[in-house]
Amino acid sequence: MTSSLIAEREILHVETRPIPTSRPIPTSPPMLRFRPIAGPALIAVIVSLAVAGIILQQLVHTPWGLPGHRGLFWLSTLIAARWAIDRPGTAFGIAAASSAGILAFDPAMGVHVATYLAAGFLIDLVATAKFVQRYPWTMIPLAPLIFLVNLINPFVHNLAQSSLLTVISGMWFYVQGHLLWGIAAGIVGMSAGTFGKYMLRRCAGRPPTPLNPIVG
Q: Which residues contact 187 (CB under 8 A, 6 or more apart)?
A: 140
The structural domain count of the chain equals: 1
In angstroms, the Cα distances linking 181 to 23, 82, 178 are 57, 19, 5
23, part of any domain: no
116, part of any domain: yes
124, part of any domain: yes
82, part of any domain: yes
207, part of any domain: no
Provide the domain limits for residue 188: 34-202
28, part of any domain: no
10-residue stretch averages of pLDDT, the chain, 216 residues long: 54 52 51 54 91 91 76 94 93 96 89 91 95 92 93 74 73 85 94 91 59 40
Please give the pLDDT value at position 32.
Answer: 42
Give the whole-angstrom CA distance, residue 158 versus residue 197: 41
198, part of any domain: yes
69, part of any domain: yes
Please give the pLDDT value at position 153.
Answer: 76
Ordered alpha helix ranges (H), 86-137: 90-105, 114-127, 130-134
